[in-house]
Structure 1
Amino acid sequence: MKDDNDRNRRELKLWLRMLLTTRAAEAELREFLRVSHGTTLPRFDVMAALWRRGEAISMSDLSRMLLVSNGNATAVVDRLEKDGLVKRSPSETDRRTVFVSLTEAGTTRFMTLARDHSDEVSRIFADLPDEDLDTMSAILKRMGERRNAAK
Structure 2
Amino acid sequence: MEKAKDDPVDLEIIVRDEPAGHKSELRLWLRLLSTVNMITQEIRQRLRAEFAITLPQFDLLAQLDRAREGLRMGDLSKRMMVSNGNVTGLIERLETDKLIVRDFDPVDRRVIVAKLTPLGIAKFRIYSKAHEGWLADMFADVDPVTAKALMKHMATMKGSVAAHLTRGA
Q: Which one of 131, 135, 144 corresponds to residue 145 of structure 2? A: 131
Structure 1 residue 45, shift from structure 2 partner: 0.3
The match for 1:3 is none
1:49 counterpart SS class: helix
Pick closer, same or farther for the CA change 1:105–1:8 going to 2, 3 Å: same
- Richer in helix (by share): 1
Alignment deviations for residues 41-84 of structure 1 (CA, whole Å, 9 cap, x no partner): 11110000100122111010011111111111111111000100
In structure 2, C-alpha distance between the alignment counterparts of 1:143 and 1:60, rounded to whole Å: 30
The alignment status of 1:39 with 2:53, answered yes or no, reads yes
Q: Which has the higher contact order (CA 8 A, sep 6+)?
A: 1
Percent identity, aligned pairs only, is 33
Matches within 5 A, 1:16-31: 16-31=30-45
The match for 1:86 is 100
The match for 1:103 is 117
Alignment deviations for residues 121-142 of structure 1 (CA, whole Å, 9 cap, x no partner): 1011111111221111111222
Q: Give the number of equivalent residue pairs.
A: 145
The match for 2:131 is 117
Structure 1 residue 143, shift from structure 2 partner: 2.5
Give the TM-score normalised by the residue count of structure 2.
0.79
| 4+ aligned runs moved over 3 Å, structure 1 | 145-151
In structure 1, C-alpha distance between the alignment counterparts of 2:22 and 2:86, rounded to whole Å: 36
